[in-house]
């Protein structure tokens, strides 16, 4: 290969890489194509209350996960009560359907959760879901049955931030007690959905008619505002 041909080849690779990062284009055998979200958020009618954990520095658009990448998660289920696997899978399906985001189960792990989601490092790694205790995660104190959140990384090419990893910590002893009650499974699933809502970017609201209300009032499904906020979180931009 001549020096000129080599230089042109490098220019094509560098130019393709820049386009890939700057405009969300993917190089294929047929040339450049726009990156495509893995799912589509539903159209939500009506109105309700919702809030975001974080918004972009230059706009009111929410910080969210990249819809072109699956949200991979692993589970520390050492202390999980009986039936926990099915409840978690069902809760993930609820959030996936409400956002259009694709989730991918990565199996189990013995990794211990950090004390709080804010301590997560802003690098891409699987979300950690842990059935744990207040001794390990002090934020699980009193009647708090779960905590969740994600870490964001700023993209220098787009000027926007996106979530790249997160954690959900669930109070295994407290949730095991709830599971023993009539309709306990529905209540626990609602708690897990609430924490997964935090994971993908929803904050608490003051409306008791929404599942993202900070206290469990007996609601077991998403409210209208919850659905609106989740749909918008799933409609984010592709970063690759």
Q: What average pLDDT score do residues 196-207 get? A: 97
* CB 113, CB 171: distance < 8 Å: no
Residues near 29 by Cβ (< 8 Å), separated by ≥ 6? none
How many Å apart are CA 197 and CA 99, to the nearest integer? Answer: 10
**Tens of pLDDT, residues 85-123:** 999 999 999 999 999 999 999 999 999 987 766 667 777
Q: What is the pTM of this model?
A: 0.84
Segments making up each domain of the chain, as ranges: 3-34, 64-233
Does residue 188 surpass a pLDDT of 90?
A: yes
Task: Please give the CATH number for the structural domain made up of 64-233.
Answer: 3.40.390.10
Does residue 21 carry a pLDDT above 90?
no
CB neighbours of 21 closer than 8 A, spacing ≥ 6? Answer: 157, 240
- Kindly indicate the confidence band of residue 158, based on its pLDDT and cuts at 50, 70 and 90: confident
């Amino acid at each position: 290969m001549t020096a000129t041909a080599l230089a042109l080849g490098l220019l094509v690779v560098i130019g393709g890489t820049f386009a890939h990062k700057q405009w969300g284009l993917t190089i294929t055998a047929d040339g450049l194509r726009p990156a495509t979200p893995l799912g589509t958020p539903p159209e939500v009618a009506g109105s309700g209350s919702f809030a975001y954990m974080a918004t972009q520095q230059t706009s009111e658009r929410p910080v969210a996960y990249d819809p072109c990448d699956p949200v991979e998660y692993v589970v520390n289920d050492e202390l999980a009560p009986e039936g926990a696997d099915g409840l978690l899978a069902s809760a993930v399906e609820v959030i996936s359907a409400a956002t259009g985001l694709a989730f991918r189960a990565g199996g189990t792990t013995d990794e211990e959760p950090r004390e709080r989601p804010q301590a997560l490092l802003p690098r891409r790694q699987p979300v950690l879901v842990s059935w744990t205790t207040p001794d390990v995660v002090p934020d699980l104190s009193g009647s708090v049955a779960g905590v969740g959140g994600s870490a964001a990384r700023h993209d220098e090419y787009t000027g926007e931030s996106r979530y790249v990893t997160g954690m959900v910590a669930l109070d295994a002893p407290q949730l095991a007690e709830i599971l023993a009650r009539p309709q306990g499974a529905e209540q626990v699933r609602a708690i897990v959905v609430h924490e997964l809502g935090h994971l993908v970017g929803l904050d608490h609201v003051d409306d008791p008619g929404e599942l993202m209300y900070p206290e469990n009032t007996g609601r077991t499904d998403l409210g209208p505002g919850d659905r609106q906020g989740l749909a918008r979180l799933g409609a984010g931009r592709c970063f690759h």
